[in-house]
């Protein structure tokens, strides 16, 4: 299973693909120095493979590199940050 993550800033989203097929996305609004993640979804066909955690880790790491704080409006992102102390500084 070959997994890739692509940032599509023109669409305000990150897309995770498996073997070239879009498997899910994390959508956001940029609000100055903050990035509001409001929707994360993994296609039903791909659920149960840990792709949500892979995607959220990547979007948080990229947000940190871009010097953006995070607003976790999406429950999946909020839950992930609650469980992973290493991302608390992004709040």
32, 4 in Cβ contact below 8 A? no
What pLDDT sits at residue 1? 83
Structure tokens at 33: 């120095």
- Fold of the domain built from segment(s) 3-86: Aminopeptidase (3.40.630)
Q: Which residue has the tokens 């659920």?
A: 47
Q: Model confidence over 75-84: pLDDT tens digits? A: 999 999 999 9
Coil/strand/helix, residue 7: strand
Structure tokens at 39: 């929707």
Q: Model confidence over 17-68: pLDDT tens digits? A: 999 999 999 999 999 999 999 999 999 999 999 999 999 999 999 999 999 9
């Amino acid at each position: 299973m070959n997994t890739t993550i692509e940032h599509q800033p023109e669409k305000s989203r990150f897309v995770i693909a498996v073997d070239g097929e879009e498997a899910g996305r994390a959508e956001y609004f940029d609000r100055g120095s903050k990035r509001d993640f409001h929707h994360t979804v993994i296609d039903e066909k791909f659920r149960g493979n840990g792709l949500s955690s892979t995607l959220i880790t990547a979007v948080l790491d990229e947000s940190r590199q871009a010097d953006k704080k995070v607003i976790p409006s999406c429950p999946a992102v909020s839950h992930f940050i609650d469980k992973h102390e290493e991302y608390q500084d992004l709040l």
